[in-house]
Structure 1
Amino acid sequence: MNRRTKIAAVAAALLITAGAANSAVASGDGRGGSREASALTGTAKLYRPAGDDITFSFDAHLAAKDNKDPEAATGTIRFSHYKGGKGGYAVAEVDCLVTGGKVAVVTGVVTETDVDGFRNKRVGVSVHDDGRHDRLGYNWITKEEYKELPPCMSTAPFEKVRSGTGDFHVLPWRLEYPTE
């Protein structure tokens, strides 16, 4: 075998090996286990020209074994809003997570807060993980005349994230569809 043929054979073997390794990592967690079904992680401050200090943090996960049940998601949503020495914070326990592409919708029930009447309310948050231009939307119902917000429901991500603060990471949900 001449030298060029050997080099080509070695290069092809390396490409095949690298491709197989990348496939294994993409389908698993890189440690031999399966990849979680979906996730939303990261922290950002919202852009508000009036000086409000608004922060949202996420650590939400849907295990691979629960791929068909987004309401089995676990984790926390943390957020706070302060301005002029007034405001408050809340921590919600995740009860649903749905992701698609770079967009996530997560809901949770507030378990810790310093805001009267907010405990045990469900909050919904949406995130668009767009690299340098992340966006976020949120909603919750605090008026008694409205019914409770359902799981996995939120608004479109309408708020801008303050430049340099968005580090959201959305792991897209991969549904397995039956074949006939």
Structure 2
Amino acid sequence: MNRRTKTLAVAAAILLTLGAGGIAVASGGDGGHGHATVREAAALTGTAKLYRPAGDDITFSFDAHLAAKDTMDPQAATGTFRFSHYKDGKGGYAVAKVDCLTTGGKVAVVTGVVTETDVDAFRNKRVGISVHDDGKHDRLGYSWVGRDTNLEVPPCLSSAPFEKVQAGSGDFKVLPWQVEYPTE
């Protein structure tokens, strides 16, 4: 066999081997561990502080997930998110139970009903938060911005991610939603 034929044969064998491994991983194969893994439909996790030049301590944390079995129902999402805002010893916090999660690329929108808080304005209210997971320059937005902050927020809705995350504090991770469309 000449050198060119051998090179092509080796390259083809490598591509076939890599392709088969990639197909097993993409289809949720067990990777040789004896149990199949299924990718979540969508997720938003992580914690970050917002940048504020006046020194406000504003933190957002997320643990929101949409199971693979619920791919077509973002309102079946589960988990919690937490936010707090303190300055000069004053402020408050809230914890919300997730009731909707949508993601697209590196952007996520999560809503939830506040179940725990020391701020009366948030008690039992639905709030929405958006995140742009851009590596070192994450951004965040929330539904209580503007003049009328007492608006009823529908599920899966928030403002654009307009706030900057403090450098070095962000570790948001957005798992893109993979919507399954009917083929017929």
Common fold: TM-score over 0.5: yes
Q: Which residue of 2 aligns with 1:97?
A: 101
Change (3 A) 1:29 1:85: farther
In 1: Cα distance, 2:29 partner to 2:141 partner: 29
Q: What corresponds to 1:108 in structure 2? A: 112
- What percentage of aligned pairs have identical amino acids? 77
SS of aligned partner of 1:132: helix
| SS of alignment partner, residue 162 of structure 1 | coil
Following the alignment from structure 2 to structure 1, what is the Cα–Cα distance between the partners of residues 28 and 60?
29
Residues 1-34 of structure 1, C-alpha deviation per residue, up to 9 Å, x if partnerless?
4666455434422222222322332343866222
Change (3 A) 1:149 1:174: same
Q: Which residue of structure 2 lines up, in the alignment, with residue 9 of structure 1?
A: 9
Q: Does 1:53 align with 2:57?
A: yes
Per the alignment, do residues 167 and 26 of structure 1 end up closer, same or farther by CA in structure 2, a change over 3 Å counting? farther
Secondary structure of the corresponding residue to residue 24 of structure 1: helix
For residues 11-160 of structure 1, the aligned pairs below 5 Å read: 11-28=11-28, 32-140=36-144, 146-160=150-164
What residue identity is the alignment partner of 1:47?
Answer: Y
Give the whole-Å Cα distance in 2 for the aligned partners of 1:144 and 1:135: 23
Change (3 A) 1:23 1:145: closer
Give CA deviations for 1:21-59 in whole Å, capped at 9, x if unaligned: 223323438662221111111111100000001010111
| Aligned residue pair count | 179
Q: Deviations over 1:140-164 (max 9, x none)?
A: 49x9995521110100001011111
Residues of 1 paired with 2:65 and 2:171: CA distance? 16
Quick one: distance in 1 between partners of 2:128 and 2:30? Answer: 31
Q: Is it true that 1:163 corresponds to 2:167 in the alignment?
A: yes
Aligned-partner residue type, residue 12 of structure 2 = A
Q: Secondary structure at the match of 1:178?
A: coil
Which amino acid letter does the alignment assign opposite residue 107 of structure 1? T
TM-score for both structures, normalised by structure 2: 0.87
Residue type of the alignment partner of 1:122 = R
Amino acid at match of 2:112: G
Q: Distance in 2 between matches of 1:146 and 1:167?
A: 30
Q: Report the TM-score, using the length of structure 1 for normalisation.
A: 0.88
The letter for the 2-side match of 1:12 is: A
Cα drift, residue 122 of structure 1: 0.8
- Structure 2 unaligned regions, length at least 5: none
The runs of at least 4 aligned residues of structure 1 exceeding 6 Å deviation read none
C-alpha displacement of 1:61: 0.5
Q: Could you say what secondary structure the match of 1:14 adopts?
A: helix
Q: How much is the aligned-residue C-alpha RMSD, in angstroms?
A: 2.4
